[in-house]
Amino acid sequence: MISWIQKTFQQHFRLVFGVLLAVTIISFIFTIGASPGIGRADRRAMARPYFGLNLSNAEDYRRLRGDADLSVYVQVGFMGMDDSRLQSYAYARYACLALADKLGIPAPTQNEIGDYIRNLPRFASENGQFDSRKYNEFRDSLKKNKAVTEADVSRVIADNIRVERVQKLLSGPGYVLPEEVRKQLAMADTTWTIGVASFDYASYNPAITPTDADLQKYFSDNSFRYQIPPQVNASYVEFPATAYVGRVNVSDAEVRAYYDANPARFPKPAAQPEKPGTPPPAANPAADFAVVKPQVEATLKFERAQRLAAKEASDFAVGLYEKRIPFGSAELNSYLSSQNLALKDLPPFSEEQLPAPLAGNPQISEEIFRLNKDRYFTDALSTQTGSVVVFWKSTVPSRQPDISEVRAKVAADYVQNEKMKRFVDLGRTMKAQLAAHLKAGETFDKAVSAVASANGIKGEAKMHPAFTLRQRPQDVDFTALGTLEHLDKGELSEMVRAQGNKGLIVYAADKKQPELSESSEAYVTTRNQIAQYTASQVANEYVRELVDSELAKSTPATQ
């Protein structure tokens, strides 16, 4: 069920919830993320039928993704949802359209399309009414977008309406108990006056001196944390970009064009502050360019030198492949000498910790850890300084080290773990101490100060005036709000961890619950919202199974 935190979000982030909950099946994007990817279209790829589309066909792929992206844009006003979520929404949306065809759901009329547009959250004013100005701005934006026409928008909106109708058919009535409604209303509309005590974890420094027995036990209990991953012994041939800079020539026009394309990379040096009353100097792009021209020219030359280095490295790797030189053969050294190249050794390294000469390319680890004696060298790999070709020597299997090899790390981990345990225990102690000070009649500020001083830790107190979760103050940590569900007036929460490495104890100084009449507008609205949410889960589950079933028909079987 929707928690009180979600209710709060719904009030303050209405457009987001308009996408994730109210608008058809977009909430479904969070549950289908593990489905196979659409991938790039390839005419030679195996056909992947999906409700009449072919996911391997470029045109069908663009249609599926483009319509989904435009659907989101029409509803909330932005495009560019991350790929995995957009893909999931695209799958689900198209599955609903296929189901609409199967059920014979007709296209909407022009009047129905007009009603749909007038009720979209993105065109609503602050009071929730249709804002024609926002709608006209939307239409004007379409005229500037050559990739999208009004006809495209009309088609997508009509499809959205059909999808909503499918969603409504699948959802059912949506059942909700009165107690659920009262709970949501109580949490959303209860008036709270709270104090938040914040204790700084970094300032808490208990004396922790582990014995050898303590460390051995901790090491044994957490041995998985110290397992040394597989490592590779390798060497490499380097093609540094600096060796090719002398071959690069660039014209003034090329340097200027590069600067114009990348102005943010070359900010001019800060000017001396002007005297008061002196007007700012007029913009002078030519002068700005002249100041940074040497830097621009050097950067452009280095980039082109990197390309030359990559080509030489690639040619070398291809030549090595064509010669079919066996692993460990003396012929390799002869070939390297003929190319005026030399192998450089690397220290053993794991896939997650590349040595410095290989930094700058996240694909390098994957390429190197595929090597073996049959395929013992990589293709050309780009680095921050040029390109390399890496040669495999051997792979060292994963192993469990002796404690003596990792003692320093074990000791540091033990101390940190013990400190956290003691901090949690201290939180219970400080809660009891705070309760005693408050019972004695001290103000919250003084009580927190006294408790912090007594325990040698930095503490701060802040009282927040009355608020509800519908209109919460922006300076209250969400972690603190999360404790309110379990507090009554005069009670203290357990200490909870919050951002900024803090421990928080929340004091409910006052709590006033709202009237919860079943005939009130708030009660009826909340009941309908919860019913809509629970009903949508049934529809989402059905559509998820429908999508999975259709995708499975063309997913290659794993060996």
Counting every residue, how long is the chain?
A: 559
Residue 334 in domain: yes
pLDDT at position 283 over 90: no
Q: Is the dihedral of CA 204, 206, 209, 213 positive or negative?
A: negative
Higher local confidence (pLDDT), 500 or 491? 491
pLDDT at position 416 over 70: yes
Are residues 169 and 61 part of one domain?
A: yes
The kind and range of the H/E element at 77 are: none
Are 458 and 199 in contact by the 8 Å Cβ rule? The answer is: yes
User: How would residue 270 be classed by pLDDT, with cut points 50, 70 and 90?
Assistant: low
Mean pLDDT score of the chain: 85
Question: What is the per-residue pLDDT for 293?
Answer: 92
Helix axes 150-171, 110-118, angle to 10 degrees: 80
Are residues 470 and 338 part of one domain?
A: no
Are residues 426 and 376 part of one domain?
A: no
Are residues 381 and 238 part of one domain?
A: yes
Q: Which residues contact 383 (CB under 8 A, 6 or more apart)?
A: 357, 358, 359, 360, 361, 364
Residue 11 in domain: yes
Q: Shortest CA distance to 388 belongs to which of 426, 417, 354? A: 354
Are residues 447 and 364 part of one domain?
A: no
User: How would residue 277 be classed by pLDDT, with cut points 50, 70 and 90?
Assistant: low
pLDDT at position 145 over 80: no
User: How would residue 147 be classed by pLDDT, with cut points 50, 70 and 90?
Assistant: confident
Alpha carbon distance 391, 432 (integer Å): 63
Question: What is the per-residue pLDDT for 55?
Answer: 86
Share of the chain above pLDDT 90, in %: 53
Residue 15 in domain: yes
Question: What is the per-residue pLDDT for 360?
Answer: 75
pLDDT tens-digit map of 157-191:
999 999 999 988 888 777 788 888 888 887 788 99
Residue 217 in domain: no
Q: Is 274 exposed, middle or buried (0-12, 13-18, 19+ CB in 10 A)?
A: exposed
Residue 123 in domain: yes
Are residues 505 and 539 part of one domain?
A: no
Q: What is the CATH number of the domain that holds 197?
A: 3.10.50
pLDDT at position 7 over 50: no
Are residues 425 and 298 part of one domain?
A: no
User: Residue 305 belongs to what domain range?
Assistant: 230-272+283-396
Are residues 103 and 180 part of one domain?
A: yes
Strand partners, 297: none
User: How would residue 16 be classed by pLDDT, with cut points 50, 70 and 90?
Assistant: very low
Question: What is the per-residue pLDDT for 296?
Answer: 93
pLDDT at position 139 over 90: no
pLDDT tens-digit map of 302-335:
999 999 999 999 999 999 999 898 888 889 989 9
pLDDT tens-digit map of 70-93:
898 888 777 666 778 888 899 999
pLDDT at position 14 over 50: no
Lowest mean pLDDT among 244-248, 276-280, 546-550: 276-280
pLDDT at position 525 over 70: yes
Are residues 391 and 247 part of one domain?
A: yes
Higher local confidence (pLDDT), 335 or 2? 335
Residue 223 in domain: no
Give the mean pLDDT of 119-145: 82
Reported in sequence order, the residue ranges of 453-513 that DSSP labels E, i.e. its strands, are: 459-467, 496-498, 502-512
Are residues 240 and 137 part of one domain?
A: no
Higher local confidence (pLDDT), 128 or 435? 435
User: How would residue 24 be classed by pLDDT, with cut points 50, 70 and 90?
Assistant: very low
Residue 205 in domain: yes
Are residues 155 and 203 part of one domain?
A: no
Question: What is the per-residue pLDDT for 530?
Answer: 83
Range among 45-49, 382-386, 475-479, 507-511 rated most confident? 507-511
Count how many domains the chain has. 3
Lowest mean pLDDT among 113-127, 273-287, 474-488: 273-287
Are residues 81 and 147 part of one domain?
A: yes
Of 346, 375, 396, which residue is a domain's last?
A: 396
Alpha carbon distance 447, 459 (integer Å): 10
Alpha carbon distance 243, 246 (integer Å): 7
Residue 557 in domain: no
Question: What is the per-residue pLDDT for 556?
Answer: 59
Of 359, 376, 396, which residue is a domain's last?
A: 396
User: How would residue 545 be classed by pLDDT, with cut points 50, 70 and 90?
Assistant: very high
Question: What is the per-residue pLDDT for 29?
Answer: 40
